[in-house]
Structure 1
């Protein structure tokens, strides 16, 4: 369905381009190169399976999870509230 002066499929092309751009940004954020044998943060040994599965890994699972939680900025609190509280 075209809208205005746009051709058929233009919206889907925009969606596809947005998805491709997001995938490329994610790929650029992946570590590459040699994996560390010990975590850069806590110094614990990184399991061999993790080092083989993720090239360039520098953090253990615990430290990586903490980093991702901090980077996500998610407060962990539902600030929207429940429907009941919104109706009052």
Structure 2
């Protein structure tokens, strides 16, 4: 159901774009290359199972968890930019 100047399916297109951007960003942040044997942060050994499961791993689970918490911030705010264009 389109309203005003929006074309049919515009809301779903916006949702799809947001999800697609998040997936691309997540994939780009995946580690690549050879895994380290010891954590880059704390120098603890990285278990073999983790090194095989995550290619290019650089941190132990504890340090990776801390980094992930720091990196968690909001995603894209498409609505804010759209609203500003309508004014």
Could you say which TM-score interval applies, normalised by the shorter chain? 0.7 to 0.9
Q: TM-score, normalised by structure 2?
A: 0.76
Runs (4+) off by over 6 Å:
none
Coordinate RMSD, CA, aligned: 1.4
**Residues of 2 paired with 1:11 and 1:26: CA distance?**
23
Query: For 2:8, what is the secondary structure of its paired residue?
Result: coil
Q: How many residues align?
A: 73
**Bigger CA radius of gyration:** 1
TM-score w.r.t. length of structure 1: 0.75
Deviation at 1:52? 1.0
Consecutive unaligned residues in structure 2, runs of 5 or more: 74-87
Structure number with the bigger relative contact order (C-alpha 8 A, sep ≥ 6) is 2
